[in-house]
Structure 1
Amino acid sequence: MKVEYFSLCDKVSNPGVWKKISATVNAFCDLGHDSNLCAVNARGLKGHVRLLSYVLRSKADVLIIRNTMYSMWPMFFLFLYHRALGRRIIIDIPTPLVAAQREIIIYRKSVLECVLKLFIIYGSFPWVLIPANRVIQCGQESKYFMTLVKSKTELIGNGVSTADILRIKREYFSAEINCLNIVAVGALAPWHGYERMIYGLARYYGRDEVSCDVKFTIVGNGEVLGVWKNLARTLDIESQVLFVGSKFGSELDEIFEDSHIAVSSLGLHKIGLASASTLKSREYLARGLPIVCVDDIDFGDWPRFAFKCQNNTSAIDVESIVNWYTYEIAKQVLPEQIRNFAIENLDIRVKASKIID
């Protein structure tokens, strides 16, 4: 079966997205499909028009279109055209629309731009999804955007290529440590919510006595970096919160080797999500590291190597994390077990088989 995946994606400015969609198409090939990626990197109107022309000319049996947000309404007519020819249409919505509209409001450059973008979204969805055979969501969507398409919508969490992610070298987690190293990696944004960890550390070190030294390393750059640096300085815990900038390759591998726990996004409530399937959680687990996170759609039977936090603004209870690591992770969990969970449940090939079945 010939499968073609269409996306607006600039490999340079969005390496994470490029990596994910490339891995998805490769996974389709591994599953025996004749698959091709059509990724347009042109910006603005030119990129949308070019992608529309590629979709129009496609001869694939299955067309998968990654949500373009602002040019989905003309896609509606192309969907009808391909459906009339007997082809299957699958629409991939990597970010729930309820979260996307929150992001537009948070990042608005002007009121006019914000209003125009929201007008396009609410004027396009959910009716543009009606011709699709399937709609793939990676997180919980609002009832409004599910209107008329709920029966054809599948909630399939994000996946990663576990084969491309190195597992940490240690074979077990030791409770005999002088310092518990916690790491968070990403292009720092408000919904990562790492200020919750910073506030939690301040409360932890505000006690008369601590059970274990804890350091929180934040890897990456972004608009909230200065805010979090100022917060750590104001709370007088600069020595416990380390900002090391962006790291890649062997430098990033070394940081993971020295870490005991990794932190996923803790601020999903800021963009209206009760649960999600963040790529970082999956990458951490593929490394063999236990994680701190909020609710995840792929964790039906909650795994012991994931410390679940409330999805709100409250400070993280660092003392509870220390105890969890000392008495559960170090005594009952192995890095290989965590990685095996990722391979069996979160690998991109597992996810791809659910998209085309």
Structure 2
Amino acid sequence: MKSVLFLSFSGYYEHNGISKKKLAQIKGLEECGCDVTNCYYMVDSDTGHRLWMADGSIVIDLGTGLGGKVRKRIDYNPILTYIKRERISFVYMRSEHNASPFLISFVRRLRNNGVKIVMEIPTYPYDQEYDTFKGKCLLFADKICRKSLAKQLNAIVTFSNEPAIFGQRTIRISNGIDFDSIRLKQQANGKSNEMHLIAVAEIHYWHGWDRIVVGLADYYKSYKHNACKVCLHIVGEFSGERERNEIMPLIVENQLNNYVTLHGKLFGKELDEIFDRADVGVGSLARHRSNITRIKTLKNREYAARGIPFIYSEIDDDFEEMPYIMKIPADESPVDIHQVINFYNRITMNKEEIRNSVRHLSWKNQMKKVLDSIDIAVYENKNSLR
């Protein structure tokens, strides 16, 4: 059994999507037979101390204030010492666009000690996500150092189709699914004179949900009494004023308050109940705004795991040929609600068949691709998730 360190530069928060993904990846590695240590940085909410943690135990207390912030970015010696002491043979590191001379030195020293290391870049390309002055300043150091950092790695893990990133070979995987944590919707996908659309995410401009709100406005301008009633449920908070100002005025000006519901954040039973009512999921409709053509989003996979057909505009190679998806043009045109209704009425797959179609996208299978690519032999866990 191989010892693996899963290294991330941020902590874990209840109901946070990224936190859930990281925990699911760790579970996937364990299902492949790895002994995984979860190493992460966090700020103690009570004391303000900045800590590097390993499976809930303190590796190093970096202190408080500016000194702690600086040490986080320059002092990786405690983690290196921990890796040596625990005889870790493989490090899976999650990038936060934080390449620096200090991180380069850390990775080089790991390699010199015989440790294999890969770095996951969750979204690529990512420069366009930094559109404020502060954001561009934060990105500056990363842009200077990232090619040198990449050179020290064994590989870069990507959810894109890029064969190489920053001059380093890639391991191309899909965002995975933790089927234990995603419940199949309870109500059957039925046809009626009422349709419920669900859009779940922290709302960013690249989601393009203003396009579907405008589409609803157009639909209701010519609405007939016996036509299908279409309702949109948006679950999640606006990431900023830009996103709020793109959507809220459209709802008010077009008198869509009875057809668009902003639920805010929902979790657990409340979220399950909304999914039970949902007929069609709404994925990203404007990744072109951030110059991304291909991406494998977690949300598309959650919709499929829930047994719900869905719409999106990017290229997602895991779903392009599936009969339960509808592609929306990657432009600024409103979503044609009549076409969405027709798409839904043509679907013949039931919720169980939709869920079963993505069984191969389990996190176990995705993490096995990583292990196989860097020739890490592990003992198969026969009791792992199928």
**Do these two structures clear the TM 0.5 threshold for a shared fold by scoring above it?**
yes
Structure 1 residue 201: Cα displacement: 1.1
Of 48, 52, 58, which residue of structure 1 is paired with 2:73?
48
Structure 1 residue 14: Cα displacement: 7.9
Distance 1:274 1:91 in 2: 22
User: Secondary structure, in 3 states, of the residue corresponding to 1:53?
Assistant: helix
Structure 1 residue 226: Cα displacement: 5.0
Contact 2:76 2:102 in 1 (8 A): no
Q: Partner residue of 1:27?
A: 28
1:94 correspondence with 2:122: yes
Assess, with a 3 A threshold, how the Cα gap between structure 1 residues 257 and 122 changes in structure 2: closer, same or farther.
Answer: same
User: Secondary structure, in 3 states, of the residue corresponding to 2:358?
Assistant: helix
- What amino acid sits opposite 1:39 in the alignment? Y
Distance 2:19 2:223 in 1: 48
Contact 2:75 2:102 in 1 (8 A): no
Of 190, 208, 232, which residue of structure 1 is paired with 2:251?
232
1:251 correspondence with 2:270: yes
- What amino acid sits opposite 1:191 in the alignment? W
Deviations 1:108-166 (A, max 9, x none): 2xx3x34422321220122310121111012356x9x83422xx212212112112111
Q: Partner residue of 2:145?
A: 124
Assess, with a 3 A threshold, how the Cα gap between structure 1 residues 46 and 15 changes in structure 2: closer, same or farther.
Answer: farther
Contact 2:80 2:110 in 1 (8 A): no
Contact 2:311 2:325 in 1 (8 A): yes
Assess, with a 3 A threshold, how the Cα gap between structure 1 residues 51 and 297 changes in structure 2: closer, same or farther.
Answer: farther
1:139 correspondence with 2:178: no
Q: Partner residue of 1:274?
A: 293
- What amino acid sits opposite 2:369 in the alignment? K
Using structure 1 for the length normalisation, give the TM-score.
0.88
User: Secondary structure, in 3 states, of the residue corresponding to 1:351?
Assistant: helix
Distance 1:247 1:132 in 2: 39
1:193 correspondence with 2:208: yes
Q: Partner residue of 2:46?
A: none
- What amino acid sits opposite 2:202 in the alignment? A
- Indicate the percent of aligned positions where both proteins have the same amino acid: 24
Structure 1 residue 228: Cα displacement: 1.2
User: Secondary structure, in 3 states, of the residue corresponding to 1:215?
Assistant: strand
Deviations 1:35-88 (A, max 9, x none): 111011137434434656314541311111111322443222222222222221
Gaps of 5+ in 2: 44-49, 51-68, 373-386
Q: Partner residue of 2:129?
A: 103
Q: Partner residue of 2:106?
A: 78
Q: Partner residue of 2:179?
A: 162
Distance 1:119 1:306 in 2: 39
Distance 2:97 2:166 in 1: 17
Of 315, 321, 335, which residue of structure 1 is paired with 2:351?
335
User: Secondary structure, in 3 states, of the residue corresponding to 1:181?
Assistant: strand
Greater mean alpha carbon deviation, residues 254-263 or residues 300-309:
300-309
Contact 2:211 2:334 in 1 (8 A): yes
Contact 1:139 1:297 in 2 (8 A): no
Please identify which structure carries the higher helix content: 1
Q: Partner residue of 2:371?
A: 356
Of 281, 290, 298, which residue of structure 2 is paired with 1:262?
281
- What amino acid sits opposite 1:130 in the alignment? K
Greater mean alpha carbon deviation, residues 39-48 or residues 73-82:
39-48
Number of residue pairs matched by the alignment: 340
Distance 1:56 1:310 in 2: 51
Contact 1:41 1:47 in 2 (8 A): no
Q: Partner residue of 1:319?
A: 338
Structure 1 residue 235: Cα displacement: 2.4
Deviations 1:2-37 (A, max 9, x none): 111100122238821111111111111111111111
- What amino acid sits opposite 2:218 in the alignment? R
Distance 2:318 2:27 in 1: 25
- What amino acid sits opposite 2:368 in the alignment? S
Distance 1:55 1:193 in 2: 43
Distance 1:168 1:13 in 2: 22
Distance 1:280 1:187 in 2: 11
Deviations 1:283-303 (A, max 9, x none): 111111111112344426521
Distance 1:311 1:267 in 2: 6
1:219 correspondence with 2:247: no
- What amino acid sits opposite 1:125 in the alignment? R
User: Secondary structure, in 3 states, of the residue corresponding to 2:156?
Assistant: strand
Greater mean alpha carbon deviation, residues 50-59 or residues 11-20:
50-59
Structure 1 residue 338: Cα displacement: 1.0
RMSD (CA atoms)? 2.2
Assess, with a 3 A threshold, how the Cα gap between structure 1 residues 53 and 317 changes in structure 2: closer, same or farther.
Answer: farther
